[in-house]
Amino acid sequence: MATEINIAPVQEIADNQPVIEIEHLQKAFGSNVVLRDFSLTINKGENLVVMGRSGIGKTILIKCIIGLVKPDGGNLRVFGKDIFKLNHQDLDDMRTRIGFVFQSSALYDSMTVRQNLEFPLRRHRRKKISGTLDELVREALRNVGLENAIDLMPSELSGGMRKRIGIARSVILKPEIILYDEPTTGLDPITSEEITRLIMDLQQKYKTTSIIITHDIALARETANRIVFLSDGIVYKQGTYDELIHDEDMEIKHFFKR
C-alpha cells in the first residue's frame, strides 16, 4: 500500500539562504562548559564540516539542532523557527526534515534491515511520501548500494554496511538537512573513502544541507564547502580546507598534523 504521511506545508528556503541560525549558544554539564558562546549560520545546500578535539562539544551541538539536548542559553533557529519553542507535534514534524546519522549507526538489533528502514516511515505517518513501503525501502538501499541486504539482520552486517544502512534510514524520509556524527569512525581507509563518496552522491542527488562532525581529514577535504574548528566552546576558526591547511595557528597546525 502507498505510504501517505500528510504533513502541513513547510516553509520554503531559497538557495544560499540560512537553514540553521545559531546565536550565542551555551551548554554546560555541571562545571564542564561545552558550548560557551557558539554562533554559526549554515546556508541551504552547504556541506559544513565541524572539527575539533574529542569531547569539545561537537556532538552536543548537533543534538541541540534536533532538539535532543536543550541549551542553557542563546538562540537556535531551524528553517526560521526556534527549535525550543515548538510544541511536541511541530518538533516531530520538523525532525522529518532532518536526517541524523549516528556514530554507532543505531540500528535496532532485533529488526531486519527492511524493518529498520520501515520504522521511520511508520513513525512519521503525517509526512506525505509517494510509494509503497517496499518501494521506498528499496530506493533507500539502492542509494547506498545494499539492496541485497534487505532481509539481513544487523548482526550479519560489517561495520561499513551498518554505516550505509544507517545512512539509508536517515534519507528515507527525503530530509532537507542531514547531520553526520563521525560517519567514518572505526572504518578502514577503503570503506571510509566509500562512505565519503556516498555522502557527496546523496548531497548532489537530494540537494541536502549537511553538517558533518569528523576527525577524518580526508573526509573533510573531499566534502567540505566550509570547515568550522570548534575550541573552548566557540567557533575558533573557520574557512575552506585550503585556507585552514595553510593556517599558521599552532592549534590548527597540530590538528592537521603539519
Tell me how crowded residue 172 is: count the other CB atoms within 10 A of its CB: 24
Q: How far apart are the first and last CA of the chain?
A: 56
Residues contacting residue 148 through CB under 8 Å, at least 6 positions apart = none
Query: Residue 54: which region, alpha, beta or left (left: phi > 0; alpha: psi -120 to 50)?
Result: beta
Residue reference for cell 509526512:
127
Report the amino acid identity of residue 93. Answer: D
pTM: 0.87
Quickly state the pLDDT bin for 127 (edges 50, 70, 90). low
Q: pLDDT tens, 84-119?
A: 999 988 998 898 899 988 877 778 889 999 999 998
Q: Which secondary-structure segment (H or E) carries 152?
A: none
- Using DSSP's 3-state secondary structure scheme, residue 8 falls into coil
Residue 210 pLDDT exceeds 50: yes
Residue 192 pLDDT exceeds 60: yes
Please name each of the domains of the chain with its CATH number: 45-71+87-255 (3.40.50.300)
Residue 14 pLDDT exceeds 70: no
Contact between residue 167 and residue 198 where contact means Cβ atoms under 8 Å apart: yes
Q: What is the Cα 70 distance to its own chain's centre? A: 18
